[in-house]
Amino acid sequence: MKRRAVFLDRDGVLIEEQSYIKTLDEMNIYPFTSDCIKKLHQAGFLAIVITNQSGVARGYLTEETLKQMNTKLKEEIGVDDIFYCPHYSKGVIAKYSFNCMCRKPNIGMIEKACDKYEIDLSRSYFIGDRKTDIETGKNAGVKTILLRTGYGKADEAVSNFDYACDDLRNAVNICISGLGEKEK
């Protein structure tokens, strides 16, 4: 049977937003993240991270460091998988500098996740703090939740989300209950 998934942005959702996190030490996981992922699993959701990491193309960190961050994140919060796009058309590292169909708001990473797992998109969610996250969710045909953590306060006015809430804890409750505190 196909499973429901919650697709999660990384920065400003699972960990504190800082512009371009470059080292493992800069990765501050919110204190509630691990419990939220547990709750999603108990409710039968896959928890899959979908993240643009153009810092690699911009030369701020290596893909190797990013992979180490992913390993740490999987160990500490128990997400099922992490899909990342290190590309950016105006980057400085040639290998990563092109227009990628994975980069949000494109849905390449969600398609990869669907190739790897049996996912019922019609019963799945995208949770993010940016307009691009909401657009990605819309493009993939899942319900969207904007968080007011990270950039969410600024992007709330310009994003066409299904629900908005203060942080991941509220969003997880929306996914589990199917109810929202605010519907647009």
Residue ranges that bind Zn ion, judged by CB under 5 A? 85, 87, 100, 102
Report the residue closest to Zn ion, judged by CB.
Answer: 100
Shortest distance, position 96 Cβ to Zn ion, whole Å: 8
Closest CB to Zn ion among 78 and 105? 105
Shortest distance, position 92 Cβ to Zn ion, whole Å: 16
Closest CB to Zn ion among 8 and 146? 8
Closest CB to Zn ion among 114 and 164? 114
Shortest distance, position 98 Cβ to Zn ion, whole Å: 8
Q: How many whole angstroms separate alpha carbon 145 and alpha carbon 137? A: 9
Of the candidates 144, 145, 150, 147, which has an alpha carbon nearest to the alpha carbon of residue 167? 147
Q: If 0-12 CB within 10 Å is exposed, 13-18 middle and 19+ buried, where does residue 51 land?
A: buried
Shortest distance, position 128 Cβ to Zn ion, whole Å: 17
Closest CB to Zn ion among 86 and 152? 86
Shortest distance, position 81 Cβ to Zn ion, whole Å: 16
165 Cβ neighbours under 8 A, 6+ residues apart? 145, 146, 147, 148, 171, 174, 180, 181, 182
Closest CB to Zn ion among 104 and 131? 104
| Tokens, residue 110 | 């969600």
| Separation in Å, CA 71 to CA 78, 83, 101, 124, 166 | 10, 12, 24, 24, 27
